[in-house]
Amino acid sequence: MPAYAKILFFAGLILSFSGWISPPVALALGILFGLVLAHPFEKQTRKFTKLLLQASVVALGFGMNLQEVLKAGRSGFVYTAVGISFALAAGLALGRLVRVPATPSFLISSGTAICGGSAIAAVGPIVQASPEEMSVALGTVFILNSVALFIFPAIGTALHLTEQQFGLWAALAIHDTSSVVGAATRYGAVALVIATTVKLARALWIVPLALGTAAMRKTKSRVQIPWFIFLFCLAAVVNSYLPGSGGVTHSLSQLGKLGLTATLFLIGTGISRAALREVGWRPLLQGVLLWLLVGAGSLALIRAGLIGFAG
């Protein structure tokens, strides 16, 4: 492995964590690195990336006001439940239409419906997905996440969406928590509160999905509970009700934003030319069609005022 690849990797990681560049720029640098150079620490960074994302989300909780969080969570529950059911049904139908094998089709539908890579990682062992099928599904959602992080804020600005509207749209239409938070951070503080809360509420549905899948498959696979979501809520409680914590919680929240930017760089480095070839066109077509359907449908309902937040 060339020494310069390691130097560039660490330079990009440090730059991303410095606060000098925005989340989309960090992701772009990571993708450029992954497409041009062989990843020097691919296996080592996979677990670290997941842990850094979870820690960053928890730290962002220290910047949340619990009253706003609870209001967003209550309002978003029904939309989340309906949206997940629709995305799963539509995804499986599209998978059959474009002739994607059953297992990767289910993984892509689950990732789109709930929480991207986290949902795929949770249900993959239950459906006994092969490493190749997992890579195909993960590659598909990661590619679409990368696109969403760049284009969603631009679309929201062009359509003059309010921060409340954009936060809800991002939470319902973008796969992974990292890209949801990254896009909402660019749009504003209110958008970040709503997007993060609704997205994390959406992520909780990993548990019933995994249990339901295991029941239908009659397997006893271990379900991974996303405990970091509960820590996020605890962080919001501390910020909202612990007197004198303002300075500390603000610092932790800022640290969470920097950690998220570094996470996006690491995610980008995992998108290689080999990964793009492995995805193939059929699963990618299913993922794109489902993503467009969910994104355009939820946006239309939000702009029509059929879904939103009261008060």
Q: Are residues 270 and 142 in contact, defined by beta-carbon separation less than 8 angstroms?
A: yes
The whole-number pLDDT of residue 153 equals 93
The whole-number pLDDT of residue 123 equals 80
Q: Are residues 108 and 141 in contact, defined by beta-carbon separation less than 8 angstroms?
A: yes
- Domain positions in the chain are 3-303
The whole-number pLDDT of residue 247 equals 79
Q: Please, what are the averages of pLDDT over each run of 10 residues along the chain (311 residues)?
A: 79 89 79 81 77 80 68 62 87 93 90 81 77 73 83 94 92 85 87 83 76 71 63 81 76 85 81 71 89 92 76 44
Nearest to 200 by CA among 115, 108, 123: 115
Would you call 38 helix, strand, or coil by DSSP? coil
Q: State how far Cα 178 lies from the chain centre.
A: 5
The whole-number pLDDT of residue 38 equals 75
For residue 214, give every residue at least 6 positions away whose Cβ sits within 8 Å of its Cβ, in sequence order, or none.
126, 220, 221, 223
Q: Are residues 169 and 79 in contact, defined by beta-carbon separation less than 8 angstroms?
A: no
The whole-number pLDDT of residue 109 equals 93
d(CA 87, CA 93): 10
